[in-house]
Structure 1
Amino acid sequence: MRVVIAVGGNAMTAADGSARPQDQQAAIEVAVEPIAELIRAGHQVVLTHGNGPQVGNLLVKNELAASVVPPVPLDWCGAQTQATVGLLILNALDRALAARDLPARTAVVVSRTEVAAEDPAFSSPSKPIGRYLSQAEAAVMIGHGQHWQDRGERGWRRVVASPEPLRCLDAPAVLVLLAAGFAVVCSGGGGIPVVADGSPGGHRGVEAVIDKDLTAALLATSLAADRLVIATDVEHAVLGWGTDNPVPLTGVEVGDLEALLAEGAFASGSMGPKVSAACRFARRSGKPAAITSLGAIAGALAGVAGTIVHPESS
Structure 2
Amino acid sequence: MRVVVALGGNALARRGEPMTAEHLRANVRSACEALASLASQSEMVITHGNGPQVGLLALQNLAYQDVAAYPLDILGAETQGMIGYVVQQELSNALLGEREVAGVITTTLVDEDDPAFDHPTKLIGPQYTADDAAEAAAAYRWTIAKDGNAFRRVVPSPDPQSIVQAPLIRRLLEGGSLVVCVGGGGVPVRAGANGRHIGMQAVVDKDLASAALAAEVGADTLIMLTDGDYVSENWGTPEQRDILTASADAISQLSFAEGSMKPKVDAAIRVARAGGRTLIGPLDRLDDLLARKIGTEIVGTLKEGIVFVDNKKS
Task: Give how far 1:299 is off.
Answer: 3.6
Is 2:232 the counterpart of 1:238?
Answer: yes
Q: Distance in 2 between matches of 1:157 and 1:180?
A: 42
- Aligned match for 1:277, one of 257, 267, 276: 267
1:10–1:52 CA contact under 8 A, matched in 2: no
**1:37 counterpart letter in structure 2:** S
Match of 1:238, SS state, is: strand
Q: Distance in 2 between matches of 1:151 and 1:246?
A: 24
Unaligned runs of 5+ in 1: 142-146
Distance 1:232 1:127, change over 3 A: closer
Match of 2:252, SS state, is: helix
Match of 1:204, SS state, is: strand
- Aligned match for 1:87, one of 85, 88, 98: 85
Aligned residues: 297
Say what the alpha-carbon RMSD is for the aligned residues. 2.6
**2:50 counterpart letter in structure 1:** N
Distance 1:303 1:125, change over 3 A: closer
Match of 1:250, SS state, is: strand
Task: Give how far 1:243 is off.
Answer: 2.2
Match of 2:89, SS state, is: helix
The equivalent residue for 2:218 is: 224
Structure 1 residues 296-305 or 173-182, which shifts more? 296-305
2:133–2:144 CA contact under 8 A, matched in 1: no
1:10–1:17 CA contact under 8 A, matched in 2: no
Q: Distance in 2 between matches of 1:151 and 1:39?
A: 37
The equivalent residue for 1:78 is: 76
2:278–2:299 CA contact under 8 A, matched in 1: yes
1:14–1:24 CA contact under 8 A, matched in 2: no
Is 2:199 the counterpart of 1:209?
Answer: no
Q: TM-score, normalised by structure 1?
A: 0.86
1:11–1:31 CA contact under 8 A, matched in 2: yes
**1:29 counterpart letter in structure 2:** R
Matches for 1:1-314 after TM superposition, within 5 Å: 1-14=1-14, 16-40=16-40, 42-65=41-64, 67-98=65-96, 103-125=98-120, 127=122, 129-130=124-125, 141=140, 147-149=141-143, 159-198=154-193, 200-260=194-254, 264=255, 266-283=256-273, 285-313=274-302
Q: TM-score, normalised by structure 2?
A: 0.86
Q: Distance in 1 between matches of 2:224 and 2:95?
A: 22
Provide the identity percentage. 40
